[in-house]
Amino acid sequence: MVQGGDECVDGKLPALAEDFDPMPEHDRLPYLTSRMNLGADVPQTPLQGNGNGGITPTGAFDPFVTTPAPMTPGAVGPVSANPYSHDPTGAMGGAFFANQTGFQQPIQYHLYAPIGPHSQNTLGYQRNVHDLFIPNDLREELQKKSAATLQTLPNTQLPAQVDYFHSLVPLDLSHQKNAATFGYPSWIYKAQSSKDGTFYALRRLEGFRLTNEKAIRSVQAWKRVCNASVVTIHDAFTSRSFQDSSLIFVTDYHPLSKTLADQHLSAATGRYPSRPNSPIPEQILWGYMTQIANGLKAIHASGLAARVLEPSKVLITAKTRIRINACAILDVVQFDTQRTMADLQRQDLVNFGQMIVTLGANSPALVHNPTKAMEHFTRAYSPQLKNSVFWLLNGMQKDQERTIDTFITGISSQLMSTFDSALHLDDQLTSDLGRELENGRLVRMFAKLGLINERPEYELDQRWSESGERYFLKLFRDYVFHSVDSQGDAVTDLAHIITCMNKLDAGSEEKIHLVSRDEQSCFIVSYKEVKKALESSFQALSKPARRMH
C-alpha cells in the first residue's frame, strides 16, 4: 500500500471531478497551504534505501547549479528570452523547457505569486483554490468559444467545399434574408481553411454576378486595414459551389459574437416582454463610440469608407467589445458608384451618428422613427453626448471640416476614460495570465513522467522504466497519484497533485517518503533528487537511440 504522507490521515479528501476542472468551493487555501508545507517535518536524512539502486551522481549538466551566486529575495538575475529554454533552436519543443540555463529560479518557485491588482483584501482562510486559476467566468467563456469554433454540422445540405474552405456551419440566426443592406441576400458561415487550418467567417452574397474584375480587386486595400475595431477582411472570390453565382468574402471569425442589433434592439423577451428595454448606460455608449471612431479612423486613413454602419453590422465579440463588420462589400457590389471617397467618408459620420441615436433609443419600435428616436435620445443622455451625435449627424454639411479626426479631438476626454477601462482590463488579464502560467509547467512535468513511467522497453531493456533512478520516478508517480488515506480511500485532492508537481519542477529540497507497493522498500528523497532523475531519464529518452543489432 502506498501512503501519501501526512495529508492522507485527516479523513476523506474532496474528489476530483471527471473533467479535472472543478475544485470544490470549500477547498480553502489553508488546506492547500498545508499541502505546500507537506513533508516539512520529514527528517532531513540523506538518500537511503534498500531498493533498486539509488540516484547516481552524474558529472553531466546539473540544472540546479546554474545560479552563480546565492539568491536573496528580489535578486532574480537577468532572465533570458525564454527562461525555461536551454535550446534556443526550439528543436524538440525546447526539450519541454527543461534545464533553465542562465535562468535563476526565484526562491520558493513552487509557490504561486498572484500578480495584482487585487480587487479585495481577503484573508488566507477566505480565499479558495479557485484563486489559483483563471476566473471561472472567463474560463467558461473561452471554452464556449472553442466549442463554437469546433462545432460541425453533420448531414448538411451545404457544399462540402467552397474554394479552399470546408466544414461550413451557418451562423445566421434567421432564415429570412433581406437584400436591403447589400442589394443581395447575404448568408454567413463559419468555415475552416484547408490552407492554414484556421476558422474564418464567409459571407456569401447570393446571386451576384461579377461584371468587372477590378471590382473584386478593391478588396486588396481592405486586407491592409488592421484595426482592433474592424473585422479583418482576408479575401474575396466568386463561387459556384452553392449552385448559383455567389460572391464570398472571407473575414475573421469571432465565435459566439452577436450584433449590436441582436444585443440591444431585439424585442424584449423574458418575463415582461411588453416592457421597453432598459436604456444603454451612457458610459457603454461612449465606449461604443470610441471603438467605432477608432475603426473609422483606420478605415479613412487607408483611403476607404466603411459604407455600411448600422447596428446589424457591428459585432459584439466580448462584453462591450465591438468591431465594425461587413466592410468592403459595397465597394465590390457598388463598384461603379459616382460618389467621391470624401463624400462616402462624410456619409460614414452621418451613419455613425444615426446608429448611436438608434442604439440610444434602444427599442425596435423607434428604429424607423428618427424624430422620436432623437427625442428619446435627448431626454436620456447628457448634453455632451447629444452634441457629439448632432455633430456627426451634420456630417454632410460643409460649414466646417468634418472628419473623423476632428471628431476624435472633440471627444478626447471620453477617449481617456475608455482608454483607462482598457488598461484596467489589460491589468486584469495579465493577472489572470499569471495564474495560468503555472499550469503550463505542470503539463510539461506530466508529459515527461508519462514518457518514462511504465515504458515497456527502452534500448532492449525491458526493465528500463523500473530500474535505476527511474524506480524513484515510479514511486513518485505512486506517491502523487496513487496515495490512499487512512481508510484506504484514494486521495483525489488536486491540491496535493499540484503542490507535488510544483515542488518537483522547482526542485525543492524538501524530503518525501517514497514507499514501494509491497512496502518492502522505503526511500527518503528530496524533490530535487527526483527532479534530477526525471531530467536525466528524459534526456536519455530524447537522445538519438543507440541502434542495437
Ligand X SMILES: Nc1ncnc2c1ncn2[C@@H]1O[C@H](COP(=O)(O)OP(=O)(O)OP(=O)(O)O)[C@@H](O)[C@H]1O
Which contacts qualify for 83-89: CB closer than 8 Å, 24 or more apart? Answer: 84/441
Applying CB under 6 A, the site for ligand X has a residue count of 24
* Residue 290 touches ligand X, criterion: CB under 6 A: no
Among 85, 251, 358, 499, binds ligand X (CB under 6 A): 251
For ligand X, the closer of residues 156 and 486 by Cβ is 156
* Residue 172 touches ligand X, criterion: CB under 6 A: yes
CB 110 within 8 A of CB 502: yes
CB 515 within 8 A of CB 475: yes
For ligand X, the closer of residues 325 and 414 by Cβ is 325
Stretch that binds ligand X, among 99-107, 250-258, 485-493, 537-545 (CB under 6 A): 250-258
Q: Residue 311 corresponds to which cell in the numbers above?
A: 447596428
Among 141, 262, 466, 489, binds ligand X (CB under 6 A): 262
Q: Rounded to the nearest whole angstrom, what is the least distance from the CB of residue 444 to ligand X in the complex?
A: 34
The DSSP 8-state label assigned to residue 265 in this structure reads: I
User: In this structure, are strands 161-162 and 165-170 parallel, antiparallel, or unpaired?
Assistant: antiparallel
Binding-site positions for ATP? 203, 252-259, 312-313
* Residue 351 touches ligand X, criterion: CB under 6 A: no
Whether omega for the bond prior to residue 117 falls within 30 degrees of 0, making it cis, is yes
For ligand X, the closer of residues 32 and 205 by Cβ is 205
Which contacts qualify for 179-185: CB closer than 8 Å, 24 or more apart? Answer: 181/308, 181/310, 181/312, 181/313, 181/326, 182/308, 182/326, 182/329, 182/330, 182/333, 183/333, 183/334, 184/208, 184/247, 184/333
CB 243 within 8 A of CB 309: no
CB 135 within 8 A of CB 141: no
Stretch that binds ligand X, among 215-223, 248-256, 416-424, 460-468 (CB under 6 A): 248-256
Q: Rounded to the nearest whole angstrom, what is the least distance from the CB of residue 96 to ligand X in the complex?
A: 35
Q: Which residues contact 178 (CB under 8 A, 6 or more apart)?
A: 185
Among 36, 55, 188, 392, binds ligand X (CB under 6 A): 188
* Residue 179 touches ligand X, criterion: CB under 6 A: no
Binding-site positions? 203, 252-259, 312-313
Integer angstrom CA distances of residue 80 from 85, 115, 357, 408, 539: 9, 21, 52, 41, 22
Residue type at 184? Y
> Which of these, 133, 114, 145, lies nearest to 440 by C-alpha position?
133
For ligand X, the closer of residues 268 and 451 by Cβ is 268
Task: Find the residue with minimal CB distance to ligand X.
Answer: 201
Among 258, 297, 321, 386, binds ligand X (CB under 6 A): 258
Stretch that binds ligand X, among 168-176, 220-228, 288-296, 435-443 (CB under 6 A): 168-176
Q: Rounded to the nearest whole angstrom, what is the least distance from the CB of residue 453 to ligand X in the complex?
A: 43
Among 178, 211, 274, 338, binds ligand X (CB under 6 A): 178
Stretch that binds ligand X, among 33-41, 256-264, 268-276, 501-509 (CB under 6 A): 256-264
Among 9, 142, 173, 423, binds ligand X (CB under 6 A): 173
* Residue 253 touches ligand X, criterion: CB under 6 A: yes
Q: Rounded to the nearest whole angstrom, what is the least distance from the CB of residue 178 to ligand X in the complex?
A: 6
For ligand X, the closer of residues 250 and 475 by Cβ is 250
For ligand X, the closer of residues 223 and 258 by Cβ is 258
Among 227, 246, 294, 325, binds ligand X (CB under 6 A): 325
* Residue 153 touches ligand X, criterion: CB under 6 A: no
Angle between helices 494-506 and 527-542 (to 10 degrees): 70
Among 86, 264, 300, 313, binds ligand X (CB under 6 A): 313
Q: Rounded to the nearest whole angstrom, what is the least distance from the CB of residue 177 to ligand X in the complex?
A: 6
* Residue 211 touches ligand X, criterion: CB under 6 A: no
Chain CA centroid to CA 381, Å: 35
Stretch that binds ligand X, among 137-145, 259-267, 410-418, 464-472 (CB under 6 A): 259-267
Instruction: Output the DSSP codes for 480-520.
Output: HHS-B-TTS-B---HHHHHHHHHHHHHT---EEEEE-TTS-
Instruction: Output the DSSP codes for 36-95.
Output: HTTTTTS--PPS--SSS------SS--TT---SS---TT------SSTT-S-TT-THHHH
Q: Residue 259 corresponds to which cell in the numbers above?
A: 450584433
> Which of these, 147, 63, 112, lies nearest to 534 by C-alpha position?
63
Q: Rounded to the nearest whole angstrom, what is the least distance from the CB of residue 469 to ligand X in the complex?
A: 52
Phi and psi angles of residue 183, each rounded to the nearest 5 degrees, phi first: 85, -5
Stretch that binds ligand X, among 23-31, 181-189, 363-371, 407-415 (CB under 6 A): 181-189
Cα–Cα dist 251/260, whole Å: 18
SS3 content of the chain, % helix, strand, coil (to 5): 40, 10, 50
Stretch that binds ligand X, among 16-24, 57-65, 166-174, 430-438 (CB under 6 A): 166-174
Under the rule (CB under 6 A), what is the footprint of ligand X?
171-173, 177-178, 181, 186, 188, 201, 231, 251-254, 257-259, 261-262, 312-313, 315, 325-326
